[in-house]
Amino acid sequence: MPVAALRPPPVAVGAGRRSARLQARFALRASSLEASAAVTVTVNGSAEAAVERKEKVQEDKDNEGLPVKEEQERGLEVLYDDGFGSVTVKDYFAAAKVLCRDDGGPPRWFSPVECGHPAVDQAPLLLFLPGMDGVGTGLILHHKSLGKVFEVRCLHIPVNDRTPFEGLVQIVENLIKHEHDLSPDRPIYLVGDSFGGSLALAVAARNPQIDLVLILVNPGSYIICKDSIAASIASTGISAKRVSCYSAVSSQFCHGRYVSTGDPLKMAAVSIENNLSPPETLQKLSDSLTSMLPLLSELSDIIPRDTLLWKLKLLKAGAAYANSRLHAVQAEVLLLASGKDNLLPSGEEADRLFKALKNCRVRYFKDNGHTLLLEDGVNLLTVIKGANMYRRGRQRDSVTDYLPPTLSEFRQTFDVDHRLFHLALSPVMMSTLKDGKIVRGLAGVPDKGPVLFVGYHALMGIELSPLYEEFLREKRTVVRGMAHPFLFGKKFESSRQETSRFDTVSMYGGLPVTPINMYRLFQRNQFVLLYPGGVREALHRKGEEYKLFWPDQPEFVRMAARFGVTIIPFGCVGEDDVLELVLDYNDQKNIPGLREWIQSINKEAERVRDSVKGEDGNQDMYLPALLPKVPGRFYYLFGQPIEMKGMGNLVRDRKSANEVYLRIKSQVEEIMSYLKRKREEDPYRSLPQRALYQATWGASAQVPTFEP
């Protein structure tokens, strides 16, 4: 007898053409897992007898016998197509309409076919726990992207099912215990949407020994007003036989007025291209919204009134159950909260859970509604990657757990988020060929690693974004930037933490600067970016533009020699044409309030280079006060490659290694002197000249520069 929680859901009812099409389009792969232990599952309000069954686990032998080198090359390519944006909210409504045709069965798990097989080895398991609708397709916009790196399963709760909250907890618990027994070192992700958030918290509280990662999306654990909601709905005598769960709850929140729980415009904007003109965007948005609105009314006829009342009881029971056990939750938690949630006070709940849970981080989306996972601009995988919460083992490995940026992420970052910034800077990238000739572009940079870029760190790291973009566009290569551990810490995050530049750094290859990380990157033939000047250089003082603060530590040269790395010195100039430093570290140390703030953050931040004396070892953090200028232009030059292959003697010969180190430092200084001199010859250094050129030849035209 199959375990109830693992039965496949009905896909379509009826033999009509429309049903057949929907069945083909929204095909589901049922879980084939069979549990060996005696399992008691509570369904429809009663407990079924424990059933003894044999466990059948098929081993994946596809990787056996592969050479180590070939195995290391398997996985995701840079700028791979993750499929995000190819599915719209209309697909969700169509799938929900099919799946809400009840077959009288209990809750069960299914795997969406579009998730496919993970493209990475030892992919973690991701379980989706649905919201009040119970359909289980709330992740439909993210199935393809998540399926590349997770084994995805979704919980389906039939519309007429009456399994109590404790029974749902047991269904989830049975599966995670079984999966944990099979792979005790593999983490299990629980994505809880709305009501599913309470379910995830309850399961985590009961199973602290299992390695769980919770992704809570506007969790329904906010228990205040639940009694008044249920009483109000019961007493008003709603005339319609069938009402939407979301619209009913929202109407009671607003004392009879209908308010959408999500942002209709953001839901309609899903899959609309970012590079369209304003009139084209408006037309597509209008068409999408017009076609979506009738589906909202259709969905409101799916859930019967008695089911709605049962769901509200579940919501109340789940919130009470989870809140009474928050102290027992040991799992990592990433909470996604919406600022315009018309159903629940998700911002306040984020504040509360951020304090109550031991290991909770928040990403706050101030312009989104309750249905966050169905709205435009929210890619769940991107959020997980930016928060450094994707891992395949008990601890996150910054080297092997890193996932390269996808094509949709690249377009969102550089064609939308950073587009105006890059247009204003109009960066000029140049490189040096082996014969010493300087050319525009990255032709002088090797196509294969290991490669180490060593250079000057501009103010606030302003040079990083154009550098990442150019390497991805021209070389389709991720440059793994070695950065201060402060950028990846959690100590200074808040309960209303929005996605930030720190998330972007992580997404595009940033990782903590440690010798072991550099060693392992070289071992895997990666492209590595190192700033010997570190924080002192990036947060320099007034009048210190283009000054190097490199300590007398040539260790990276010796490590590069060991692996035969190609070292490329580089420099960039232009920060003095873009920003003016108004208050620096020395100024702020003399201002009461700011002085204490600087002391507090540096006391708690991880210290780097404590053994280095003088200003080169001063790695104190502070936030410079800056004023923007009418943008000039940024110039990059990658110097002549220094081949370390065959120089293994440097590993033990510290004197020779130091000579190479000083040579690299000297080349970086010469590069910046060259760029500062040559930029005076650039007729398009100022913004007005560049704007006139692009107005004549088009915004995408490459603006000329000086002759190298």
Phi then psi for residue 318, to 5 deg, are -65, -40
Residue 216 has a pLDDT of: 98
Asked if residues 96 and 140 have their Cβ atoms less than 8 Å apart, the reply is: no
Q: Is the predicted pLDDT of residue 8 greater than 60, yes or no?
A: no
Asked if residues 459 and 585 have their Cβ atoms less than 8 Å apart, the reply is: no
How do beta strands 332-338 and 212-217 pair?
parallel
**Which CATH code of 3.90.480.20, 3.40.50.1820, 3.30.70.370, 1.20.1270.360 fits the domain covering 82-104+121-386?**
3.40.50.1820
Q: How confident is the model at residue 262 (pLDDT cuts 50, 70, 90)?
A: low
3-class secondary-structure state, position 675: helix
Residue 506 has a pLDDT of: 95
Q: How confident is the model at residue 38 (pLDDT cuts 50, 70, 90)?
A: very low
Residue 49 has a pLDDT of: 32
> Tokens in use for 369?
């509604």
Please tell me what DSSP assigns to residue 417.
Answer: I
* 695-704 pLDDT, tens digit each: 999 888 999 9
39 burial level (CB within 10 Å; 0-12, 13-18, 19+)? buried
Higher pLDDT, 253 or 704: 704
User: Residues 6 or more apart from 343 whose CB is under 8 A from it?
Assistant: 194, 218, 246, 249, 250, 253, 261, 370
**Closest-CA residue to 27 (of 137, 102, 119):** 137
**Mean pLDDT calculated for residue range 634-651:** 94
User: Residues 6 or more apart from 603 whose CB is under 8 A from it?
Assistant: none
3-class secondary-structure state, position 467: helix
CA dihedral for 83, 89, 94, 98, sign (positive or negative): positive
Task: Please state, in angstroms and as integers, the Cα–Cα distance from residue 224 to each residue in 230, 311, 504, following that order.
Answer: 12, 16, 36
Q: How confident is the model at residue 244 (pLDDT cuts 50, 70, 90)?
A: very low
Q: How confident is the model at residue 11 (pLDDT cuts 50, 70, 90)?
A: very low
The percentage of the chain sitting over the pLDDT mark of 70, rounded to a whole number, equals: 77
What is the Cα–Cα distance from 183 to 448, expressed in whole angstroms?
A: 35
How do beta strands 28-30 and 108-112 pair?
antiparallel
What is the Cα–Cα distance from 103 to 85, expressed in whole angstroms?
A: 32
**Mean pLDDT for the chain?**
82
**Mean pLDDT calculated for residue range 257-268:** 49
**How many CB atoms neighbour CB 627 within 10 A?**
8
Which residue type, as a one-letter code, is found at position 129?
L
Query: What is the distance of C-alpha 544 from the center of its chain?
Result: 35
Residue 147 has a pLDDT of: 97
Which residue type, as a one-letter code, is found at position 478?
V
**Mean pLDDT calculated for residue range 321-348:** 93
Q: Is the predicted pLDDT of residue 617 greater than 60, yes or no?
A: yes
Q: Is the predicted pLDDT of residue 381 greater than 80, yes or no?
A: yes
What is the Cα–Cα distance from 165 to 75, expressed in whole angstroms?
A: 39
What is the Cα–Cα distance from 609 to 617, expressed in whole angstroms?
A: 5
Long-range pairs for 36-39: beta carbons < 8 A, 24 or more residues apart: 37/178, 39/3, 39/174
What is the Cα–Cα distance from 569 to 156, expressed in whole angstroms?
A: 56
Residue 602 has a pLDDT of: 86
Higher pLDDT, 16 or 135: 135
3-class secondary-structure state, position 600: helix
**Mean pLDDT calculated for residue range 418-438:** 94
Secondary element (H or E) of residue 690: helix 687-697
The percentage of the chain sitting over the pLDDT mark of 90, rounded to a whole number, equals: 63
User: Residues 6 or more apart from 432 whose CB is under 8 A from it?
Assistant: 438, 439, 444, 637, 638, 639, 640, 641
**Closest-CA residue to 365 (of 355, 357, 377):** 377
pTM for this prediction: 0.83
What is the Cα–Cα distance from 102 to 306, expressed in whole angstroms?
A: 14
> Tokens in use for 16?
């009509």
User: Which of these ranges, 266-280, 469-483, 602-616, 669-683, has the smallest mean pLDDT?
Assistant: 266-280
Residue 223 has a pLDDT of: 54
* 171-191 pLDDT, tens digit each: 999 999 999 999 999 999 999
* 282-307 pLDDT, tens digit each: 555 455 555 555 555 555 555 677 87
> Tokens in use for 666?
């000297």
CA dihedral for 400, 401, 404, 407, sign (positive or negative): positive
Task: Please state, in angstroms and as integers, the Cα–Cα distance from residue 573 to each residue in 428, 429, 577, following that order.
Answer: 10, 11, 9
Which residue type, as a one-letter code, is found at position 602?
N
User: What pairs with residue 528 in β-bridges?
Assistant: 452, 480
Q: What number of CA atoms fall less than 13 Å from residue 703's CA on the CB side?
A: 26
170 burial level (CB within 10 Å; 0-12, 13-18, 19+)? buried
Higher pLDDT, 293 or 234: 293
* 110-131 pLDDT, tens digit each: 999 999 999 999 999 999 999 9
Asked if residues 451 and 524 have their Cβ atoms less than 8 Å apart, the reply is: no
**Closest-CA residue to 378 (of 149, 142, 131):** 142
> Tokens in use for 632?
């000039």
What is the Cα–Cα distance from 415 to 630, expressed in whole angstroms?
A: 22
434 burial level (CB within 10 Å; 0-12, 13-18, 19+)? exposed
Q: How confident is the model at residue 607 (pLDDT cuts 50, 70, 90)?
A: confident
User: What pairs with residue 580 in β-bridges?
Assistant: 627
CA dihedral for 233, 237, 243, 247, sign (positive or negative): negative
Residue 461 has a pLDDT of: 95
> Tokens in use for 97?
């309409």
Q: How confident is the model at residue 616 (pLDDT cuts 50, 70, 90)?
A: low
Phi then psi for residue 39, to 5 deg, are -125, 130
Count of residues making up the chain: 708
Residue 273 has a pLDDT of: 62
3-class secondary-structure state, position 262: coil
User: What pairs with residue 512 in β-bridges?
Assistant: 483
Q: Is the predicted pLDDT of residue 211 greater than 70, yes or no?
A: yes
Beta-strand ranges (E) seen in 386-498 are: 428-432, 438-440, 451-455, 479-483
Where does the chain hold its CATH 3.40.50.1820 domain(s)? Answer: 82-104+121-386
How do beta strands 579-583 and 566-573 pair?
unpaired
The number of helices, as runs of H, and strands, as runs of E, in the chain is 24, 21
Higher pLDDT, 242 or 447: 447
Residue 221 has a pLDDT of: 86
* 45-91 pLDDT, tens digit each: 333 333 233 333 333 334 333 333 333 445 799 999 999 988 988 88
What would the DSSP string read from start to end of 63-109?
Answer: TTT--HHHHHH-SPPTTB---TTSS-HHHHHHHHHHHTS--S---EE
What is the Cα–Cα distance from 264 to 252, expressed in whole angstroms?
A: 20
What is the Cα–Cα distance from 387 to 500, expressed in whole angstroms?
A: 10
Residue 601 has a pLDDT of: 87
Q: Is the predicted pLDDT of residue 142 greater than 60, yes or no?
A: yes
CA dihedral for 7, 13, 14, 17, sign (positive or negative): negative
Residue 71 has a pLDDT of: 34
Residue 252 has a pLDDT of: 40
